[in-house]
Amino acid sequence: MKNIRDVKLPTIVFLLCKSVAYLVGSFVKYLLCEADSFVDYDLIVPPEKWHLVSLLIPKDAKMNRHGGLKFRDRHGNEIDIWPCSIGQHLSQCKGTTCGHDYVYDYINNRIFTSFSIGTN
Predicted pLDDT of residue 67: 86
Q: Give domain limits for the chain.
A: 11-113
Q: How far apart are CA 102 and CA 50, in angstroms?
A: 20
Q: What is the pTM (predicted TM-score) of this model?
A: 0.88
Helices (H) and strands (E) in the chain, counts: 4, 7
Please report, as a single letter, which amino acid is at residue 117: I
Predicted pLDDT of residue 117: 45
Question: Helix-strand-coil percent breakdown of the chain, rounded to 5?
Answer: 25, 25, 50
Round the average pLDDT of the chain to a whole number and report it.
89
Predicted pLDDT of residue 66: 80
Sheet holding 110-113, edge to edge: 62-63, 69-72, 78-83, 41-45, 22-24, 102-105, 110-113
Predicted pLDDT of residue 119: 42
- Per the CB < 8 A criterion, the answer to whether 79 and 13 are in contact is yes
Predicted pLDDT of residue 1: 56
Please report, as a single letter, which amino acid is at residue 89: H
Q: Could you tell me which residue, 46 or 90, shows the higher pLDDT? A: 46
Q: Tell me the CATH architecture of domain 11-113.
A: 2-Layer Sandwich (3.30)
Predicted pLDDT of residue 94: 57
